[in-house]
Amino acid sequence: MAEIKSTLDIIMEKAKKFSVTEEEKQGFKRQELEGKIKGLVQKVVDGVMDPERFQVEVVAFQAKEKDLVHRILQEEIVARIELGANNEALLQLLEKTEGLASGAIRKVVAKSEKKDEKQKESRRKALIESFKKKGISGSAVLPNLEADPEWLRSRSEATRQLQEEIREQLKSLPASLYQREEA
């Protein structure tokens, strides 16, 4: 008489055929680390965690995968920096991770903010002129740049350029503060 297999036996037989490659394991590991680091960065940005506690948490993660944690951390912080936003908490995190080199990054951000303000004023004037051509004028006419698709596109591109400049600046830096502490 044929043996009747349980559902669990059938599932186990099929599971034997599947295996996770080393590359997939690394992907899962990276994905898990990214989630944890994003959570830590968000806590600092929200003011729930202070930068010192953040540093302790990051050092604990780095005990296992120092280079991977550092790259993920850099990318997460840089990806959150935006023109016209309060980036102070993010810049402080960069100071914790990059040490003295953060001054150069602050200069890049300040230069981009200044350029953005000039572009904002120029766009505002252009919109006022276009309103005048339509017969709309007066001291109460204030263009809403946040509703202007051209301005939003321009701001988005400027933010992308800023992030790229920061990445380039970080690539040109010597080893990070964490790496110097452990060396």
pTM: 0.75
pLDDT at 100: 56
Residues of the chain scoring pLDDT < 70: 1-3, 5, 99-101, 173-183
Let me know: does 123 contact 154? Beta carbons within 8 Å: yes
pLDDT at 167: 92
| Containing structural domain, residue 140 | 23-182
Domain assignment present for residue 82? The answer is: yes
pLDDT at 176: 45
What is the total count of domains within the chain? 1
Domain assignment present for residue 18? The answer is: no
pLDDT at 180: 41
Return the closest-CA partner of residue 97 out of 47, 46, 44, 48.
Answer: 44
pLDDT at 1: 44
Domain assignment present for residue 9? The answer is: no
Q: How far is residue 29's CA from residue 31's CA, in Å, rounded to a whole number? A: 5
pLDDT at 120: 95
